[in-house]
A and B are shown apart, each in its own frame.
Chain A
Amino acid sequence: MKSLCIIALLVCSCLQVVFADCSTKKTMIFFENGVNVDKPVAADSVMLLEEAVLAKISSAQAGCILTDVAYNTNEPLFLDLLEAGVQKTRELTLDMTDFWKQYFRVAPYIPAKWFGDLVDIWYTSHEVALNGASFLLGDQTDEHIAKYRDQLKQGRQVILVPHSQGNFYANEEWVRLTFQEQDQTHIVAVATPADKVADGGSYTTLTEDWIARYFFPIALAAETTNGDTCLDNWVCHSFDDSYMRGQSSRNEIVDNIIALLPTSIPPPPVTSTLSGIVWNLNGKVVPGAFVELYDTATWNLVVSTQTDMNGYYRLENLQSCNCYVSAGISAGYGDAMVTIPTKPTNVTQDIILSAVPM
């Protein structure tokens, strides 16, 4: 019986190795931007998407997923907006920095009426081009398809995450793939202005996304809501500030992506995490604090870490225990009792230091 158990354990370990080794079946996620998104912003959107995906997968799965951007310029449309912005800033004797602060929504972001009007006029004047899907730049789709094919040739599956106008590109690109390639290429549509997702895949459109609703009457119906997390009508269409910030839409998009991951990718491990923020008495986060977790059954140190620059700590792969967590820095100390349950759980526990560190 004992030897049977050992064999079973060994088999399990081997399977774990097979699961963790995903070199033959990795997934490449391409974010495909919409209009009025410049390259650095598109690159930042990818990072945001990565964080959202990472929050929902295991570290083993993270070893099987790659990300990239398939960038679209849609430049004549953007140049029109910029020229309108130049005229408007001249008229209002503003600086171009004022235009860009609105465009990039630089904190502290206060939506300016003049900029909102500018965007509304811009959308109205470009409605035909946008709505008719006539705005596709052929050379861009060619370059994108070449990249998807390169990934497919490496045995990877491809997931396209297009936002807004990027959906027209993604649909067009998917149609141009061979049947075999289509089989390994999926679309997770976001704020799509199109009337379909080319591969019949999932989509997320917010009911509060005024642009999607008003300017694209043919678009797939909006079925998701974040409540009132977006700042105004225009921002509600934003991938970063609306779709990824709002919990419902973010979860839905990420779940749609995870549902497409190959089944050979292992499920999340049956362990828990403990995370939280270390604060001082002034209510400020404490970076660099040493955080230690002890099992109260043995008072052995289980694991330790340090808070990051935002005072955040995270301890992973924890087994069930009644534990004692402490945090300290030269001039402050704090602790708490925590229970790590038997079911995998993300336990959160903030710690307040008893003295104010210098």
Chain B
Amino acid sequence: MSVDASWYLTLAAVLFTIGVVGLLVRRNVLVMFMCIELMLNAANLTFVTYARVLDDVGGQVAVFFVLVVAAAEVVVGLGIIVAIFRRKVGATADDAHVLKG
């Protein structure tokens, strides 16, 4: 018995929406970062699902690329977050608005 693909897609959509809303409403930098990861993995889930449905390995390959990019992004992103917290303990994303036009 296999789970219907639409469930996976629904799950991915839910995960993505959680990520979007979390990114928009939360101020904690670390949480926002995790929300981005959530969105990435929602996309990954969609890729894998369609790879199964369409029987095309290309989707899984795309997932690997996303994972690699995400890993790199984590490195850079965490570096930035550490730098922000160095300046001010408990800083939120809104505290870093030096580049305001």
Does B bind A?
no
Residue positions of A touching B, CB distance < 8 A = none
Residue positions of B touching A, CB distance < 8 A = none
